[in-house]
Amino acid sequence: MIKYKENASLLPHNTFGFDVKASMLVEYNHEDDLPHIFSDERVAGRKFLHIGQGSNLLFVNDFDGVVLHSRIKGIKIASQSDDMVLIECGAGEVWDDLCQWCVQHGFYGLENLSGIPGEVGAAAVQNIGAYGAEFGDLAVAVAVYDVVNNRHAIISAADCQYGYRMSIFKTDEFRNRFVVTSVLLRVSRNGELNLEYGNIKAALLERGYSLTAHLSKRASRMPGVKSITLSGLREVILAIRQSKLPDPAVFGNAGSFFKNPVISSAKYKQLSATWPDMPKYDVDADFVKVPAAWLIERSGCKGRRIGDAAVYDKQCLVLVNRGKARPEEVVKLSDAIIRTVSDRFGITIEPEVNII
Ligand SMILES: Cc1cc2nc3c(=O)[nH]c(=O)nc-3n(C[C@H](O)[C@H](O)[C@H](O)COP(=O)(O)OP(=O)(O)OC[C@H]3O[C@@H](n4cnc5c(N)ncnc54)[C@H](O)[C@@H]3O)c2cc1C
């Protein structure tokens, strides 16, 4: 079924909580609806934007065009072997429902991506990532509707060119060319838990887990030993996220507002002479990634506020709507932070959030 709604409020469709309007909102629940939608006179030739839950969008104005939203559902096993399972999932499924489904079925791969807001179609566009895992690590292929050629197509994961929060779907060349309709992911029956990233280990120790017992069947069954399991890891990751990140239902936000900048190793060496505690992650021999949260905090932006738009006190990377913020206040705050970081470190940080 296809639903067309004129002059629709996008308030339920963006986690910043801005009551902007779209000239037309179209919701559909089958990939075969797409050719009809794009040839409908209310849509054909008009500017359009496909959204998910709007958890990475900042609408600065009403959208003078068509906003599309998929309700394509369904999670199923496409094929399987003794240790590998291919999962096909509709673009309109909630990402975390897919993570939960995999964990419940004992499939490894998505557990570290638990709790990321948004829908499956957007995950494929954004190459979502957290705790050492990325969508692109698991993707086999992405099914799309090609708006330019009016046909369905399958794009291999290699052709999606996944990089840090990047894919071909976000490039100027292909933005708005493809609507993601479903994804094919490879998960495993006998995976290894990845506890290496961020504060996972500290959180496990705090909860009395052994960090090694899960590696041996014998040790994991020893009396008094609390061994970490797939579902246990998911719960811990959800708890860490909940303690660190603002709930959009309380303070509107779109997660990390800025990307972590990648700079040359030479520049890092130069900066670290003045800032010896500047953290970094090696990208390759010539480049390193610096946490934007550290740069923002050390630039003195913690607690900065313009109107009701503010830097979240527990995580500098997140900008929040403390109640009555206007979109332009969030943009002004973002610009002010970018300038301040650039003045202090000579590094230009860029928004991760899609500003519309
Ligand atoms: C509290 C919070 C925490 C977050 N934590 C993380 C995190 O840990 N890691 C991370 O990577 N992100 C994180 N995010 C950002 C966000 O969850 C992701 O970017 C997510 O993928 C956005 O999903 P969405 O459905 O809301 O997409 P939207 O924000 O609606 O859209 C995102 C992009 O995808 C495009 N798009 C959406 N659906 C389709 C489709 N079917 N076909 C084609 N294009 C489409 C849109 O045009 C847009 O460009 C967080 C956000 C919040 C609010």
- Ligand 1: which of 30, 34, 125, 317 to mutate, judged by most atoms within 8 Å of the beta carbon? 125
Q: Give the N- to C-terminal CA distance of the chain in Å, as an integer.
A: 27
Out of 195, 221, 244, a domain closes at: 244
pLDDT tens-digit series, residues 184-229: 999 999 888 999 987 899 999 999 888 887 887 777 777 777 889 9
Residues 166 and 268 in one domain: no
Residues 130 and 207 in one domain: yes
pLDDT-derived band at 235, boundaries 50, 70, 90: very high
Exposed/middle/buried for 191, CB within 10 Å: 0-12, 13-18, 19+?
middle
CATH code of the domain covering residue 296: 3.90.78.10
pLDDT tens-digit series, residues 154-181: 999 999 999 988 999 999 999 989 999 9
Assess whether 175 carries a catalytic annotation: no
128 CA distance to ligand 1 middle (Å): 7
Residues 158 and 288 in one domain: no
Out of 70, 90, 122, a domain closes at: 70
Total structural domains within the chain: 3
Residues 116 and 208 in one domain: yes
CATH code of the domain covering residue 196: 3.30.465.10
pLDDT tens-digit series, residues 93-109: 999 999 999 999 999 99
Residues 142 and 159 in one domain: yes
Residues 178 and 239 in one domain: yes
For helices 230-244 and 95-104, angle between their N-to-C axes, nearest 10 degrees? 150
pLDDT-derived band at 67, boundaries 50, 70, 90: very high
Assess whether 9 carries a catalytic annotation: no
| Contact 55 CB / ligand 1 (< 6 Å) | yes
213 CA distance to ligand 1 middle (Å): 35
Residues 196 and 327 in one domain: no
Q: Which domain holds residue 79?
A: 73-244
Residues 299 and 351 in one domain: yes
Residues 84 and 61 in one domain: no
Residues 156 and 288 in one domain: no
Enumerate residues 6+ apart whose C-beta is below 8 A from 61.
Answer: 20, 327, 356
| Contact 17 CB / ligand 1 (< 6 Å) | no
Q: Residue 212's pLDDT is what?
A: 82
Average pLDDT along the chain: 95
55 CA distance to ligand 1 middle (Å): 5
Q: Residues 119-125: what's their mean pLDDT? A: 98
CB 184 within 8 A of CB 143: yes
Residues 77 and 221 in one domain: yes
Counting from 1 in the atom list of ligand 1, the atom nearest the Cα of 165 is: 11
Gap between the Cα atoms of 111 and 115, Å rounded: 9
Residues 185 and 333 in one domain: no
* Amino acid letter for position 335: D
Residue nearest to atom 50 of ligand 1 (CA): 255
pLDDT at 277 over 80: yes
Per-residue burial over 213-246, b = 16 or more CB atoms within 10 Å of its CB, e = otherwise: bbeeeeebeeeeeebbbbebbbebbeebbeeebb
Out of 47, 70, 93, a domain closes at: 70
